[in-house]
């Protein structure tokens, strides 16, 4: 064990106690599931603080913690653009999209596509989402978490570390279902915030409490959120055109995130939960990004930027407190693993098994869901060690998402805001968009096409897919009313909602809260422009 990353016995006790708690929690809830709603969507009974905390904790994984601080250390704070844009996307989600999801009473996002279009779109999106959830999200989190733990236990083989993480996450997810995942996520969000606050304050104290020490060795461009159009990491054109699209996919259509909102007891709690998650994203700049910039003063010669956050933890925190914060750090990893495992299980059970065998009762579906979770846990654990073969994981995954998800975003957005969009247009847009994505990606890999930033590629693919969908929809029959009523936005719905919101106090009015969140977001972006 490296001296810098050595743990005192009391810290180890803290970690073991935390692991024992989440296992007990999942097993404690295992006998309390009465039906599929209860297991997969926590009985649709979650209140807004739990929904928001779970959204936040599932998003801020250990890979994000390491990546945010590491990117701030190496290339600057522009990585925060993904975070503040999430707040904007969540406002849009809460106001315009979320009510349709909850009122349709669906279990999965592909199921919503079937209601709006047909079974072909549902099957396509189920396959795409499963691929992303298991091969990308779960396996990637397992691999990144294993790398972090190897800093503490360098002699432990990576496959053993991955196996332990997979088993720990899998057991309480299999036993407790989404209720265990959300309640555990809420506790982990608190741990995560406490640890991040302590580390940020300690780092600022250690640089003498003077921000000028950071600016003295850090160029203005590294402390700016808005970069030139030719910037290799975050061009302003990509920020405006591409980041919102990837954000919409992640927060508004990705099963493992939206499933938390589907568990809300009603539309009001779902909306407030989404806005709460958006509000929690803004302090990330001060708690997780800027400490990476301060580390340029504290550790000017770090060979690997990914070591920034682990080094801050072990250097800044006293014995005992380190164990608690490290538990929160590992908890962030667990949140993403448990989220993707549960959502993948929901997708297979509801989008395939229930469709093939509609006669299966709730008990049979519940049992099936648990076995599917177990199977995906094994698959992700087996695949995770292979990720080392792909080199730069983060950049690779961002590119894959930029090429894969724009057709899906187009089909969702066009379908939600244009009643004329039909099933033929949707499946044509999905398949042709995928075909063009594959051709562009192959051309990029083979060097046959000029280098284009992946955020620009995302916008081009979105516009292409949306154009195809609109063209095919206009050339074919209009969709029946059953595919549009209650599934598309219109001015009358907005007007009726305006009347109902007038009866609520300002602190419960989602439009007022949305405006406050957008103003706060604009203030932070303007400050670090």
CB within 8 Å of 332: residues ≥ 6 apart: 57, 60, 61, 62, 64, 65, 188, 192
Which pLDDT does position 108 carry in this prediction? 81
Phi then psi dihedrals of residue 235, to 5 deg = -65, 145
Is 309:65 a contact under the CB 8 Å cutoff?
A: yes
How long is the chain? Answer: 529
Which pLDDT does position 385 carry in this prediction? 67
* Cα–Cα distance, 337 to 318 (Å, whole number): 29
Is 353:365 a contact under the CB 8 Å cutoff?
A: yes
Which pLDDT does position 232 carry in this prediction? 80
Nearest to 28 by CA among 176, 144, 134: 176
Which pLDDT does position 10 carry in this prediction? 81
- HSE, CB side, 13 Å, CA atoms: give it for residue 198: 20
Give the Å distances, CA to CA, from 133 to 118, 177, 243.
Answer: 23, 17, 20
Which pLDDT does position 338 carry in this prediction? 63
Which long-range contacts (C-beta less than 8 Å, at least 24 apart) are formed by 515-523? 517/87, 517/91, 517/275, 517/278, 517/279, 518/87, 518/88, 518/91, 520/279, 520/282, 521/84, 521/87, 521/88, 521/282
Displacement of CA 154 from its chain's centroid (Å): 29
Structure tokens at 364: 């049979």
What confidence tens digit (pLDDT) does each residue in 74-131 have? 888 988 998 999 999 999 999 999 999 988 888 788 889 999 999 999 989 888 887 7
Alpha-helical segments (H) within 384-453:
393-404, 406-417, 423-445
Residues of the chain with pLDDT under 50: 1-2, 33, 35-42, 176, 178, 391-392
Instruction: State the fold for domain 3-228+267-388.
Output: Sodium/glucose cotransporter (1.20.1730)
Exposed, middle or buried, 492 (CB in 10 Å: 0-12/13-18/19+)? exposed
CB within 8 Å of 470: residues ≥ 6 apart: 414, 418, 421, 425
Alpha-helical segments (H) within 30-118:
36-41, 48-59, 62-74, 81-92, 98-103, 109-116
Q: Where are the domains of the chain?
A: 3-228+267-388, 391-489
């Amino acid at each position: 064990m490296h001296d810098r990353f050595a743990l005192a016995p009391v810290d180890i006790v803290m970690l073991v106690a935390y692991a024992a708690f989440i296992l007990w929690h999942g097993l404690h809830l295992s006998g309390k599931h009465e039906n599929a709603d209860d297991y997969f969507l926590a009985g649709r009974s979650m209140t807004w603080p739990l929904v928001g905390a779970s959204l936040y904790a599932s998003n801020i994984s250990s890979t994000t913690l390491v990546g945010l601080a590491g990117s701030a250390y190496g290339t600057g704070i522009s990585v925060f653009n993904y975070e503040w844009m999430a707040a904007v996307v969540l406002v849009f989600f809460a106001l315009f999209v979320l009510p349709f999801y909850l009122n349709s009473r669906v279990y999965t996002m592909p199921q919503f596509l079937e209601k709006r279009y047909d079974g072909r779109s549902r099957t396509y999106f189920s396959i795409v989402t499963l691929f992303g959830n298991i091969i990308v999200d779960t396996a990637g989190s397992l691999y990144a978490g294993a790398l972090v733990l190897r800093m503490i236990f360098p002699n432990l083989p990576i496959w053993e570390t991955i196996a332990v993480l997979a088993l720990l996450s899998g057991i309480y997810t299999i036993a407790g279902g989404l209720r265990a995942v959300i309640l555990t996520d809420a506790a982990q969000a608190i741990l995560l915030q406490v640890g991040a606050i302590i580390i940020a304050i300690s780092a600022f104290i250690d640089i003498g409490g003077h921000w000028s020490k950071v600016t003295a060795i850090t160029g203005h461009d590294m402390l700016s959120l808005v970069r030139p159009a030719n910037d290799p990491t975050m061009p302003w054109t990509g920020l405006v055109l591409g980041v919102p699209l990837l954000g919409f996919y992640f927060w508004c259509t990705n099963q493992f995130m939206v499933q938390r909102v589907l568990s809300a007891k009603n539309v009001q709690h779902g909306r407030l939960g989404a806005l709460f998650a958006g509000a929690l994203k803004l302090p990330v700049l001060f708690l997780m990004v800027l400490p990476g910039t301060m580390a340029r003063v504290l550790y000017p010669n770090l060979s690997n930027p990914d070591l920034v956050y682990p080094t801050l933890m072990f250097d800044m925190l006293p014995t005992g407190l380190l164990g608690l914060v490290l538990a929160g750090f590992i908890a962030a990893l667990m949140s993403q693993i448990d989220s993707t495992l549960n959502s993948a299980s929901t997708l297979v059970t509801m989008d395939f098994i229930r469709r093939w065998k509609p006669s299966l009762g709730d008990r049979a579906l519940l049992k099936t869901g648990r076995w599917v979770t177990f199977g995906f846990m094994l698959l992700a654990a087996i695949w995770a060690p292979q990720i080392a073969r792909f080199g730069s994981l983060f950049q690779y995954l961002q590119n894959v998402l930029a090429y894969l998800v724009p057709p899906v975003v187009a089909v969702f957005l066009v379908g939600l805001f244009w009643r004329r969009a039909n099933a033929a247009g949707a499946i044509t847009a999905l398949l042709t968009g995928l075909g063009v994505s594959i051709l562009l990606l192959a051309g990029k890999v083979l060097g046959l096409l000029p280098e284009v930033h992946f955020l620009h590629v995302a916008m081009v693919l979105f516009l292409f897919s949306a154009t195809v969908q609109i063209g095919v929809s206009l050339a074919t029959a209009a969709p029946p009313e059953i595919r549009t009523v209650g599934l598309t936005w219109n001015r009358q719905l907005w007007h009726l909602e305006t009347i109902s919101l007038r009866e609520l106090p300002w602190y419960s009015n989602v439009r007022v809260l949305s405006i406050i969140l957008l103003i706060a977001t604009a203030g932070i972006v303007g400050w670090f422009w």
